[in-house]
Amino acid sequence: MADVISVHTPLNDETRDLITGEHFSAMKEGVLIVNCARGGIINESAMLAALESGKVAGAAFDVWSEEPPKSDVLKKMIEHPRMVVTPHLGANTFEAQTNVAIDVSREILNLLDGKPVENAVNIARFDPDLMAQMRPFMELAALLGDFISQLAPENPGKVVFNYTGKLAAHDCMPITVAGLAALLNRCTDQEINMVNANLVAERRGLIVEQSRSTESNFFSNLITMSLETPQGKRTIAGTLFEGTPKIVKMRDFDTDFTPEEHMLVMHYDDRPGLIGKIGTILGEAKVNIGAMNLGRRIKGGEAMVVLSVDSPVGGETLAKLSEAIGARFVKAVYLKR
């Protein structure tokens, strides 16, 4: 029979009262009991009775069914001369404290940099085993939210996040919150993050919805954000291509471009010579074009042109572009990278 019994198991429905009076009666006289797992695994009334009867020669606990202990049973156990008790300090070693300090510092830096926070207790998050896989999608959602917030009218009434493909097999709420925080950061002077994004949205009367479908016709994974505003609906969709973010839809125009720090978005009626005018005006302003994407439904119809440029475009240049091409809108987009 065992001289010492030490408990090391989680507390759940199967392990609650794992050791009771019946078990103590079958133990060796003078047994030693150690519980440094969870309070409630050992029935505490039975433990106290075993101590008082001398069946248990000594016990050591650092966990209780209620913390801090309040009941008479727990107070008598703690005061018993054959009981050794310590606070619940399982991680109170030099090594553990150093690791905790490093983890906390890393999390603070992630929050300040707008990156996903993995261990917060008051935000939606993925299981740690999924976080490395899902972090790029959280960053993609944040990028989409930042992008569309600079193009859509202010104060949208509703935002819908739609997830399709393999991604949709998981709870996508952390991705939704990441996109929502980026969207709201352009709408208010208040600092928005994954902790307060849902609360700020609720206070502003912004309805937030999400939908998921594992079926996808064109992309293995796709995130679509749709804003409903008094001026109409605005949509943006993105995916990851070999880990690189791609925006593949804006409104109902198919696109294919990688977001850069400085971008121009123009919506106009497609006519010959307009691309040349755009290049000329930007050249005169000493703005270099890095890449161009043209989306249109039919020849000579509406067109959506997205340019990545190497430097910011000033208001005077934007006005010249708008007049020269008869633009429905010309917007400069800045993405913090």
Residues noted as catalytic: 38, 67, 88
- Cα-based distances in Å from 255 to 98, 221, 259, 296, 318: 48, 16, 11, 9, 22
Question: For 227, how many CA atoms within 13 A lie in the half-sphere containing its CB?
Answer: 25
Tokens 């605005």 -> residue: 234
Strand pairing partners for 298?
none
Phi, psi of 221 (to 5 degrees): -145, 140
What's the one-letter identity of residue 93? T
Closest by alpha carbon to 238, among 229, 228, 248? 248
Quote the tokens at residue 38.
Answer: 């969870």
Longest dimension (CA), the chain: 99
